[in-house]
Structures are given as structure tokens and as C-alpha cells.
Amino acid sequence: MSTNRDYYEILGVDKSASEDEIKKAYRKKAMKFHPDRNKGDSEAEKKFKEASEAYEVLRDKEKRAKYDQFGHAGVNGQGAGGFGGGGADFDNMGFEDIFSRFGDIFGSGFFGEEAFGGGGRRGRSRRSKEPGQPGSDMKIRMSLKLEEIAFGAEKKLKIKKQIKCDSCGGTGAETNSDFETCSTCNGMGEVRQVTRTMLGQMVNVQTCPTCNGDGRIIKNKCKKCSGEGRVKGEETIKVNIPSGVSEGNYITLRGQGNAGRRGGPAGDLIVLIQEKEHENFSREGNNIYYNLTLSIPEAVLGTEKQVPTLKGKAKLKIDPGTQPGKMLRMRGRGIKGLNNSGEGDQYVRLNVYMPENLSDSERKAMESFKKSDNFSASNAKGNEKNFFSKMKDMFG
């Protein structure tokens, strides 16, 4: 299974979630879509395995770091220049194997009361989140030359965004003493309404409407940012581009997006990769292709040509009698793969130029060749077979 959905979204956790929060979120999803509770439900099975795939990545610090920076390309073993294996093939794994893989995360209570609604849930005794509201994520597109993709690069970007107010330090208040605890929520940042029903008490938790979840009120707002704790500005950000990225890959820079409100955490900056068209080369995976045109004498007699590569010009030997369409391989002249997964090669396609206008002397020379048995097309072994095979490939 290889889902395109965000792993954090699948588990229903924030990108800053702790290992314990991720574990609890997966356990909750696994209980919800457990096969014993959803017998014959293929959609539930899909969601169970989807959640397992997300947990497989996010529970591992190294895999999570790669996913956070490069998205799915960072943990997929196939396509788009994968950064390394993401782990197990959950699509072809049974439920028992998945339970076994994650050890005792489910515990003995997984099939008991706790899994199916038993036990109590402890409420929070104090406000656990930090003051302020998170900033929004930003997306930008970055166009890269093939040379930058081949060997990696460090790029600098000037980003217009919301930045922390330097006058109040992002708090939104004139001074640190200009705060008071919100009387509506008593600093909790949320209010609760308890409703009694036939099934027991139902608790509805909402963000405090007075302080917007901050848990405190500003008495004297900062004049520069009007109490927001952030202002419009511009920052120069460095982006390290690893070799081997592809069109559609993205790099996530944590905390480089818009600043949070009143001291809240900043959002992320997501850099979408675009490839610029190269004047000499085309790309296929980590390999590159170059078209080299020879003259008739060069193809017949053989020659040595200087051809461009991503590392500069290099000599390429052309053997006598080289046929048009032949592909020559230059090892290690391609793109360095992601995660040091090896270098691709450069392939050179050979074409032969046919002049349209000939001088009298050139025409006479060609007429003499025409009469030579050595230049007869009948000497081309398998010529007819090759022709019809090519036609079959084109139209078959």
C-alpha cells in the first residue's frame, strides 16, 4: 500500500505530536477499524492498513525526519527517486502480522473493555498547550536546473510572510506584565459544557470565545502589531536541495512558514520542486540522454567526439561502421540518486546527417559509392526484419 494522504492527517495528530501521542492515535484508529468490529468491510480494512503504514513511518525517528523533509518520496522505495524503503508491505500483510510487528502497543486490553468503550477517561487538570495560535503553512515553487538536481545545491529564497513582531517579541503586549488570566476559562483556553443523557454525561469541549484559546487577555496591546504578535515582513531562507529530486517532490522546512499569533508556533514552508528543461539533455530517472549527430564519413570511418556531460565535456569514441540509432553508454555520467543510492548513466543516441544539396564532385563521389558492392543495402544483415519489427513496434 502506498497512500498519498498525509500520515499525520491519517492518524489525526499535529506535525509536532510526540511519540506517545502518535502511538495513542494509532491505537485508537486500530481499535476503530479492527477486523473483528468490521467483518467483511473492505473499506475498514483499507483504513486499518493505511493507519498502520502511517504509524510504521512516524514511530521511527529516522523515517519520520525524512518524511517531514521530503514527504512520501522520503520513505518510498519505488518511484520518484525513493529515499529508502518505508518498511513493510501492509497491502499483503495479515492482521495478525501487523499486531505482531508493533509488539505490545495494543496491550492485553485491546480486545477487552478498553477497546470497546469500557473504562474512564481522565480529563485535563490544567491547560497543556502553549499560548498563542499556530501560524499557517506556506507553499512555494522552486525551479531547478538539471545540474542542481544531479549534484544537489544550496538555494536562497526571499520569502514575504508574517514574521514575529520585534517590538513585543511576538507576545502582542506592550510589556510582559500586560497580561491577565481569562476569567471565562480560568486560563484553560477552553470551556466545557456537560449534558446529561440516558447514556450518561456528555462533555462538549470548545475553544474559549473570550481569549480564542490563549487562556489570557492582553490589557495593553503592542502598538506596532496591534496585539497580533506578528507583522508582514521578508526573510531570506536557505534550502538544501539533495541530489536526485524529481518534478513533484517537495521539501518541508519546519517552522519557516508564517509566524504564529501571539507567540504561537510558526507554520511550515513547503518547497515544491520543478525541473527546468535542459538544452542538451532529457532525463529518465537517474539516467540522462543526449542526441549526437554524425556526418556520413564519421559514421563510416569512425571518429572521436567531444560531447557535453553534466560534469563538463568528455571524449566519446565512435567505432567505424556505427549504425544510426545506436545508443552508447557513458557510465556514472548521470544523476546521483537520493540517499546516495548510486549514480545513473548518460546515454548518447547516434544520428547520421544526410545532406540535402550536393556539389557536382560530391554527387560523383556518391555515385561511385552507389556502384560499390560494399555500400549495397543488401549487405545489411536482417535489414528487412529490423524494418518490419520497428514498424510493428510503432503501430502494433
Binding site membership: which residues?
Answer: 165, 168, 182, 185, 208, 211, 222, 225
Closest to 213 (Cα-Cα) out of 128, 106, 333? 128
Bridge partners, residue 270, by sequence:
139, 252
**Residue-wise DSSP of 194-205:** EEEETTEEEEEE
Q: Which residue has the cell 503592542?
A: 222
| 10 within 8 A of 51, measured Cβ to Cβ | yes
- Residue in the block written with cell 544520428: 351
Nearest in space to 47 (alpha carbons), one of 5, 76, 106, 15: 5
Q: What is the dihedral of CA 99, 104, 110, 115, to 10 degrees?
A: -110
What is the signed CA dihedral for 239, 245, 246, 247, rounded to 10 degrees? 0
Residues 6+ apart with CB under 8 A from 225: 165, 167, 168, 172, 231
The Cα-based distances of 73 to 79, 104, 152 in angstroms read 8, 30, 16
SS3 364: helix
**CB-side neighbour CA atoms (13 Å) of 10:** 24
**How far is 133 from 115, CA to CA, in rounded Å?**
33
Cα–Cα distance between 181 and 189 in angstroms, integer?
10
Cα pseudo-dihedral 237, 243, 246, 252, rounded to 10:
-30
* 8 CA to centre of own chain: 14
Dihedral through CA 14, CA 18, CA 24, CA 27, nearest 10? Answer: 80
Binding residues for Zn(2+): 165, 168, 182, 185, 208, 211, 222, 225
For the chain, how far is it from start to end, CA to CA, in angstroms?
A: 33
Do you know the residue count of the chain?
396
Alpha helices in 18-109 (DSSP H): 19-32, 42-58, 61-70, 95-101
CB 271 within 8 A of CB 256: no
